[in-house]
């Protein structure tokens, strides 16, 4: 049977040299998307509020594909994912996607989050989470009112206070992707993160992608503000910026950082660079089609292309380098890649980790 994707000699060498002994034998991936193509809208989007390059990696990501990905990328390791759907457009079938995630979670004994619509009332939000046996919600800026300009979107436009109230009452999780062009350094984002921690202290807020600080220029004074927080969590998914990881470690400590992948996009064969504060994913020419119109994509050829490994490995290696520079020990690394997530999931009600 043909594998989902090819693991090349250079991938095996990279993993064995840089990652295998660095990682614990048991991992929790706190940030993974599971969906089928049938749940995605086939209509042309009129309101583009998210980057389009991730769609080049995979048409969909079934639970079977997800588990095969772990087997291929982490031989000899056990990985437990926290799964949720992928709803990037207002026309996507959010109900079908959530039903599929709930079904997958039940059959595979994996934790899951509902993909939440901000229009749901307090009662509907609570009932949907409880009936689907979710541990909380994944929220996303694309589901905000389409009349709001992209850079004017606020956290509360897609994570409304009445839904935060429910999450707080049950101590549930929210996976939060920060809006606005300034990402983590945006003053309003920072103020609202601090406000959420104060007003809803029982919510397990996970700031996805370390606040989308993919380049050093995205950081600003964020960690001077965030070092005063006590309960926010930060996942490293889809981020390869070692400087961001170092600043996060120094500000909040390894005990509030979580490993996440953002699969399936972490299957991309790439290396990320920053140009004038903008991240660019360098990929083999032609592998993901014509990317010339995407400001976040670039191409390489020849040996440069042959030397590229997986986004997943680049992310973890960036964290490894940050861990070395900040003096993290083996116990700290185990916390980031397993123990912290086990604490978050357990506090939200998940009991099947073994």
48 & 150 share domain: yes
Q: How many domains does the chain have?
A: 2
257 & 319 share domain: yes
- Residue 220's pLDDT is 97
Residue with tokens 């003096």: 327
**pLDDT tens for residues 1-23?**
688 999 999 999 999 999 999 99
**pLDDT tens for residues 95-133?**
999 999 999 999 999 999 999 999 999 999 999 999 999
80 & 160 share domain: yes
Q: Cβ distance 95 to 305 under 8 Å?
A: no
Residue 354: is its pLDDT beyond 80?
no
Residue 295: is its pLDDT beyond 60?
yes
96 & 244 share domain: yes
162 & 99 share domain: yes
294 & 216 share domain: no
Q: What confidence tier does 47 reach under pLDDT thresholds 50, 70, 90?
A: very low
315: DSSP letter: H
Residue 12 lies inside a defined structural domain of this protein: no
Residue 222 lies inside a defined structural domain of this protein: yes
71 & 181 share domain: yes
193 & 315 share domain: yes
**pLDDT tens for residues 227-279?**
999 999 999 999 999 999 999 999 999 999 999 999 999 999 999 999 999 99
Residue 19 lies inside a defined structural domain of this protein: no
CA distances, 306 to each of 167, 302, 342 (Å)? 46, 6, 37
User: How many CA within 13 A on the CB side of residue 273?
Assistant: 10
286: DSSP letter: B
245 & 150 share domain: yes
Q: Which domain holds residue 247?
A: 26-268+311-347
Residue 353 lies inside a defined structural domain of this protein: no
Please list, in sequence order, all residues whose beta carbon lies within 8 angstroms of the beta carbon of residue 69, skipping any fewer than 6 positions away: 4, 5, 263, 264, 267
Report the pLDDT averaged over residues 207-229.
Answer: 97
pTM: 0.96
Residue 9 lies inside a defined structural domain of this protein: no
CATH number of the domain where residue 147 is located? 3.20.20.140
187 & 293 share domain: no
Q: What confidence tier does 353 reach under pLDDT thresholds 50, 70, 90?
A: confident
Q: What confidence tier does 53 reach under pLDDT thresholds 50, 70, 90?
A: confident
């Amino acid at each position: 049977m043909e594998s989902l994707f090819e693991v090349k000699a250079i991938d095996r060498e990279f993993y064995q040299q840089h990652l295998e002994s660095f990682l614990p034998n048991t991992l929790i991936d706190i940030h993974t998307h599971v969906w089928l193509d049938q749940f995605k809208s086939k209509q042309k989007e009129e309101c583009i509020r998210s980057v389009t390059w991730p769609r080049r990696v995979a048409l969909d990501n079934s639970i079977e594909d997800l588990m095969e990905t772990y087997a291929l990328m982490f031989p000899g390791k056990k990985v437990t994912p926290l799964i949720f759907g992928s709803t990037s457009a207002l026309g996507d079938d959010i109900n079908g996607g959530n039903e599929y995630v709930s079904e997958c979670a039940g059959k595979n004994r994996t934790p899951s989050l509902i993909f939440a619509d901000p229009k749901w009332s307090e009662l509907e939000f609570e009932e949907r989470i409880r009936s689907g046996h979710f541990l909380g919600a994944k929220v996303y800026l694309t589901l905000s009112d389409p009349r709001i300009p992209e850079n004017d979107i606020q956290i509360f436009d897609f994570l409304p206070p009445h839904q935060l109230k429910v999450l707080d009452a049950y101590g549930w999780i929210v996976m939060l992707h920060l809006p606005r062009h300034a990402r983590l350094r945006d003053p309003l984002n920072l103020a609202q993160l601090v406000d959420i921690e104060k007003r809803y202290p029982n919510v397990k807020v996970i700031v996805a992608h370390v606040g989308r600080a993919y380049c050093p220029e995205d950081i600003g004074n964020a960690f001077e503000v965030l070092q005063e927080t006590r309960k926010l969590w930060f996942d490293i998914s889809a981020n390869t910026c070692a400087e961001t990881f170092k600043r996060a470690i120094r500000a909040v400590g390894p005990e509030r950082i979580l490993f996440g992948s953002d699969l399936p996009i972490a299957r991309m064969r790439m290396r990320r660079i920053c140009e004038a504060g903008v991240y660019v994913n360098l990929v083999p020419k032609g592998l993901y089609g014509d990317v010339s119109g995407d400001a976040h994509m670039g191409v390489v050829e020849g040996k440069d292309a042959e030397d590229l490994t997986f986004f997943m490995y680049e992310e973890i290696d960036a964290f490894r380098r940050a861990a070395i520079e900040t003096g993290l020990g083996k116990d700290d690394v185990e916390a980031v890649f397993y123990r912290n997530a086990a604490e978050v999931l357990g506090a939200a009600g998940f009991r099947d980790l073994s």
